[in-house]
Structure 1
Amino acid sequence: MSKTLIDTFAQKLIAWHGVSGRSGLPWQGNRDPYAVWVSEIMLQQTQVATVLERYPRFMKRFPTVKKLATADIDEVLAEWAGLGYYSRARNLHTCAKQVVTEFAGKFPSDPALLEQLKGIGRSTAGAVAAFAFHERAPILDANVKRILARLFAVEGSIQDKAVNDQLWNLAIDLLPKKSVDMPVYTQALMDFGATWCTSRKPVCLGSEKKCPFVKDCQANLSDQVLLLPQKTKKTKSPEFDCNMLLIRSGNTVLLHKRPSKAIWGGLWSLPESLWKPRVPGANDADLSAQELFQAALPQEKTLTLVKTCRSLQKVNEIKHVFTHRRLWMHIWQASCPKELPLVNPDLKWVALNQLGRYGLPQPVKVLLQGLSLVRGDDLKN
């Protein structure tokens, strides 16, 4: 392992950032730990282009940790709708409450204390501490793992604990000596991995730009740039089918609040049947109304619903791709002359022009817009 590279890495990276790093991002240069924290959570598994649009809107809606902590969870989920990974929004809400109740509304500067808060892992804690408090705390997101694995030719899957521990030790060793350099160094690490030392097209394999570490990078010197870091082979994502009921009553639609620990947890969606492993070519056209309603609304008076609702027909089939699975949603539409009383407290008749106040899964939101049930404005906040 090159001691020279370890000793000079931070200075070289900071110098690189001054010329080639990203600038002008709305969360850059902000030392407010709340603003830093929101941006870090939002940037997890979400493209920067999407966050550029949504981050300012979120901060305008919830400008302080107290505002977020006292907001209703439905309001938070509605603002998060479309960003995916909704557990982040629920954790964000819980964490804000923790900061208000346990730390008097002030984020702690100690990374170890930050890590104890809901939804904040070691790398996010390091980023908040570095940006907001100039703490010499390392980060190790996917981009940084890739940089370090290539620079030091770290072999083995990055999912393995031993490899992960080795990368954390490297991340600590490479920290700049001066705490005042931590914000720009941390930003430079993120930028270098996102724009130069990328997964498929790192600049060292091109001819237009010269990497500042071209003579130090062990992966480059051994022609292993695209082979490191090593990853476990992905298995094919399983596919599922479910039936969803789109029931209208005049200007209202029937929605169901999903369990907090389920996929799309805490969001309001259409009543649905249990997910079943997909059988290609299977025909559900012969399902009776009784079977459909019983599967999607098991606690309700199914016979009354069947007799009351009219014109039940399949109107759409939507394929939605999650990170680790695919779902085929079969949409069955019906109309109901009046809003029938409901047994399940997680069911609710919602006025079409009020849907913007509810967090909706993106495919359901698009479905409602596409079927002209509501104008686009009705689904905006």
Structure 2
Amino acid sequence: MSEALIKHFAKKLIAWHGLDGRRGLPWQSVRDPYAVWVSEIMLQQTQVATVLERYPRFMKRFPTVNKLAAAPLDDVLAEWAGLGYYTRARNLHACANQVIKEFGGNFPRDPILLEQLKGIGRSTAGAIAAFAFHERAPILDANVKRILARLFGIEGAIQEKSVNDQLWLLAQELLPKSPTDMPVYTQALMDFGATWCTSRKPVCMSGTKKCPFAKACQANLSDQVLLLPRKPIKAKSPEFDCDMLLLRHGNSVLLQKRPEKAIWGGLWSLPESVWRAKEKNLASHSEKAKVNLTAKELFKLVLPNQKTLTTLKASEPIKPGSEIKHVFTHRRLWMQIWHVSSSSATPFSGADFKWVSLHQLGKYGLPQPIKVLLQGLSLTRDDDLKN
């Protein structure tokens, strides 16, 4: 372990940031812990380009922790629509209420207390404490793990507890001595991993720029830059089929609220069948004999617990729509859409069903593929009305 590198790392990194760090990001130089927290959660698993657009919009709608806590969860999910990983939005809402009830509306400065809040892990707690309160708290997101594994030649898989513990100790040891340096140091660490010490095209391999740590980096010296950190072998993502009912009455469509702990939890979507393992080497649903199923059979498939379905009659035949593929982090889903028009807006039992006008969809949190589908439907209807 290079003692010289540990001793001078923070100073060199801050100097690097002064020349080559990112500028102009809307969450940079922000010291309000609420604003820092929102940006950190939004940047998890979302590309910076997307957050650049959505962060200012979210902050305008929910400018304070009090506003966010007081808002209905449906409003928060609707504003989050398209950012994915909706557990983050539910945790934001829950955490805001927790801050109001347990801390009087003020985020605690202690990273240990921050980590006890809903949806805030150790690294996010460290970022909030460093940016908002100048606490000497380390961060260790995926970018930082990659930087440290390369610099210090750490061979093990970063998912292993022993390796992760070692990285946390290093992250703590590398912190600048002065608390006032913590905001710029933490930002520099994030920027260096996002723009220079990247996963696939680090600058040390392009030859266009000189890395300030090139002479001390163990991965660079041993020609293992692209081999560190070690990556686990990923299992192939399972694939599923499901049927979705696009039931319309006039200008309204039937939506169903998804269970809180399910995928797309808490969002409004189309009623759907149980997911089943995808059958290989078969044609799409619309080309199978299943296209001949009756409205009653389809309703039983996607709405098995609705007793009022005996009164629901389709005014038109079932029309097979598109088959939409959606890739999640650990699975893939093929959704066969079935179009059915109803002669009446039949009421459904339970608060998780709602007839929604196509022009009111923006008020609801919808899964991105369903949002795109229904927005296209709305545009088509608008064109029909104009003609």
Taking structure 2 as the reference length, what is the TM-score of the superposition?
A: 0.95
Q: How far off its partner does 1:352 sit?
A: 1.7
Q: Note closer, same or farther for the CA distance 1:135–1:374 as it changes in structure 2 (3 Å cut).
A: farther
Q: How far off its partner does 1:189 sit?
A: 0.3
Q: Note closer, same or farther for the CA distance 1:232–1:375 as it changes in structure 2 (3 Å cut).
A: farther
Q: 1:332 aligns with which of 334, 338, 344?
A: 338
Q: Which residue of structure 2 aligns with residue 365 of structure 1?
A: 371
- Cα distance in 1, alignment partners of residues 351 and 179 from structure 2: 52
- Cα distance in 2, alignment partners of residues 34 and 261 from structure 1: 26
Question: In the alignment, is the contact (CA less than 8 A) between 1:248 and 1:335 conserved in 2?
Answer: yes
- Cα distance in 1, alignment partners of residues 325 and 276 from structure 2: 14
Question: In the alignment, is the contact (CA less than 8 A) between 1:21 and 1:188 conserved in 2?
Answer: yes
1:293 and 2:299 equivalent? yes
Q: How far off its partner does 1:309 sit?
A: 4.7
Matches within 5 A, 1:136-175: 136-175=136-175
Matches within 5 A, 1:230-241: 230-241=230-241
Instruction: Answer with 293-302 or 120-129: which moved more.
Output: 293-302
Residue type at the aligned position of 2:265? G
Matches within 5 A, 1:268-279: 268-279=268-279
Deviations 1:123-151 (A, max 9, x none): 00000000000000000000000000000
Identity across the alignment (%) = 73
Q: Which residue of structure 1 aligns with residue 67 of structure 2?
A: 67
Q: How far off its partner does 1:302 sit?
A: 6.2
Secondary structure of 1:291's partner?
Answer: helix
Aligned length: 376
Deviations 1:134-172 (A, max 9, x none): 000000000000000000000111111111000000000
Q: Note closer, same or farther for the CA distance 1:352–1:255 as it changes in structure 2 (3 Å cut).
A: same
Q: Note closer, same or farther for the CA distance 1:375–1:334 as it changes in structure 2 (3 Å cut).
A: closer
- Cα distance in 1, alignment partners of residues 76 and 256 from structure 2: 17
Deviations 1:211-255 (A, max 9, x none): 000000000000010000001011111110000000111121100
Residue type at the aligned position of 1:307? K
- Cα distance in 1, alignment partners of residues 295 and 241 from structure 2: 18
Q: Which residue of structure 2 aligns with residue 25 of structure 1?
A: 25
Question: In the alignment, is the contact (CA less than 8 A) between 2:295 and 2:317 conserved in 1?
Answer: no
Q: How far off its partner does 1:345 sit?
A: 2.2
Stretches of structure 1 that go unaligned for 5 or more consecutive residues are: 377-381
Q: How far off its partner does 1:290 sit?
A: 2.4
1:350 and 2:356 equivalent? yes
Q: Which residue of structure 1 aligns with residue 83 of structure 2?
A: 83
Q: Deviation above 3 Å: which 4+ runs of structure 1? A: 372-376
Deviations 1:48-67 (A, max 9, x none): 00000000000000000000
Q: Note closer, same or farther for the CA distance 1:44–1:85 as it changes in structure 2 (3 Å cut).
A: same
- Cα distance in 1, alignment partners of residues 381 and 16 from structure 2: 48
Aligned-pair RMSD on alpha carbons?
1.3
- Cα distance in 2, alignment partners of residues 28 and 315 from structure 1: 45
Deviations 1:100-119 (A, max 9, x none): 11100000000000000000
Residue type at the aligned position of 2:92? L
Residue type at the aligned position of 1:146? R
Q: How far off its partner does 1:306 sit?
A: 5.2
Question: In the alignment, is the contact (CA less than 8 A) between 2:31 and 2:132 conserved in 1?
Answer: yes
Q: Which residue of structure 2 aligns with residue 104 of structure 1?
A: 104
Q: Which residue of structure 2 aligns with residue 185 of structure 1?
A: 185
Q: Which residue of structure 2 aligns with residue 223 of structure 1?
A: 223
Secondary structure of 1:354's partner?
Answer: helix
Taking structure 1 as the reference length, what is the TM-score of the superposition?
A: 0.96
Residue type at the aligned position of 1:156? G
